[in-house]
Amino acid sequence: MIRLIALLLGFLFQSSADAQSAPKLVVGITVDQMRWDFLKRFDDRWLPNGGFRRLLDGGFSCNNTQINYLPSYTACGHASIYTGTVPAYHGITGNNWWDNQKREYVYCTGDNNVKTVGSSTEMGQMSPVNLLTTTICDELKLAVNFRNKTIGIAIKDRGGILAAGHSADAAYWYDSDAGQWITSTYYMTELPDWVKKFKTKEKADSFYKLNWPLLYPAETYVQSIFDRKGFDVRSFGSSVRKFPYSLEKNIGKDYSLLPATPYGNTLTTEFAKAAIIGEQMGADSIPDFLAVSFSSTDYIGHAFGPNSLEVEDAYLRLDKDLGQFFEFLDKQVGKGAWMVFLTADHGVAHVPGFMKANKLPGGLIDENKLSDGLSVALRQQFGVENLIKDIMNAQVILDIDLIRKTKKLGPSDVADFAIEWLETQEGVSRAVRFADVAKAPIPDLLATQLKNSYVPSRSGHIQILYKSGFIEGFANGGSTHGSGYKYDTHIPLLWYGWKIKPGQSARNMTMSDIAPTLAALLNIQEPSGSIGEVIHELY
């Protein structure tokens, strides 16, 4: 009898949820630096009431979702997820780039025409001004005649701003100097009362008081290495290298360390809850959109690498945070009335020292030395100083103005020599001039990644491709990302909630498919530059 009643209630609930023409709230979750294989590596550790188990068992998993451009960086990832396109269209070619038209370095969300709101620092001089296309959030705004709420939240400015789009009601990010959530005058001139009442510093101090011990007994962390042998960067001081990490000394003083702990994700979760309540998101039939990015996993992953105790513990704690967040959504918005997708902006490489210790390919690239070496080689070959401006985003930026002023010397001459020199360097697989991608002897997949990445005014002239396992910098340990290899490009993609039926697919998909799929589910127009395909398995 009890089972029959439960089945009837479930049927009634499902019928009610299906009757909704749209979810009351769409939540986009980006876990910064989450590799797809983390879902499987930690599968037996996800709590029954945690976030990942709920998504995996009750939602739909796209198990073969790939990034289809270079570089696999944070800004590019967030922009691509929400625009349904690639850097070639949305214009976010890196976290930073050299602008060939403005003749200056540009930060992806930098905007000197706006001011900080919420602190006295300059960390709020940010906006989506450099994003060239609309996002799915913008299209939802247009579809409902701007009657809904759209908010982006992340510790990193780029994680909240690029996701929320141009027409967002607000984007908030964490000012690590002030220990406050801030925004910019692009969105408002004064913080809402609910933000002022959030008491960020008090919450940060309460987290510091907890320190950072392992969440569970050390012997249960079988997927992590204990003897790191110098594979990590010591985020908490040169003398601090293992659990438990003492954070109490930072109370009332240094709030910049919080993002480098799992508590940065917890703070983000609490702020997201406050935003939903404060802005009454999901309170009516017009769908609101909350874009949340969890940045702390990236800070921790860079410092300690994907095989560390720290990373495993961070994901186990994030699992708890997500579980509590989803329970909050059930109560605040209503079961079946909200929809969520969870993905990542990129993955991460294994620490080169770890790879070498286990007889696997890998190594370090010092871009500064590479740039200096190439400059010297070009000077010796052509007798001219400073023929390249920089190497950034693994791209060589030629000084085209100087080259053209030099008699009997053209860009092709310099590029050809640079490529020949680069391909003799340790850790370099090959170098390709963007202008020659169509005829370059490279795999089709790589050619597609390069074509999808190129913006004439915001890209370098030569793309350097490193060998598998080789990463830039981090000579003292830690890891990074940015390549086109699977450890950087294979990301999770999970869907759950309103009208999402449980299941999974191993079909090849791309990050660009997320926004058009959302558009189809919401029955609205795709973002302006969208090139992705609808994931039909979700219907």
User: What's the DSSP call for residue 66?
Assistant: E
Q: Name residue 516's amino acid.
A: P
Q: Give the Å distances, CA to CA, from 246 to 242, 243, 429.
A: 10, 8, 42
CB burial of residue 177 (10 Å; 0-12, 13-18, 19+): middle
Q: Name residue 480's amino acid.
A: T
DSSP letter string, 223-245 = TSBS--TT-S--TT-TT--SSSB
Beta strands in 361-497 (DSSP E): 363-365, 388-392, 395-398, 428-433, 462-466, 470-472, 490-491, 493-497
Active site residue 510: no
Distance CA(490)–CA(492), nearest Å, equals 7
What angle (nearest 5°) sits at the alpha carbon of residue 163, between those of residues 282 and 186?
90
Distance CA(270)–CA(344), nearest Å, equals 20
Distance CA(53)–CA(46), nearest Å, equals 6
* Sheet of strand 388-392, all strands in order from the earlier edge strand to the far edge: 388-392, 395-398, 462-466, 428-433
Instruction: Name the H helices within 91-248.
Output: 136-143, 157-164, 193-196, 200-210
Question: Whose CA is closest to 83, among 408, 443, 526?
Answer: 526
The end-to-end CA distance of the chain, in Å, is: 32
Question: Whose CA is closest to 469, among 316, 392, 355, 380?
Answer: 355
Q: Which of 74, 183, 200, 266 is catalytic?
A: 74
List active site positions: 74
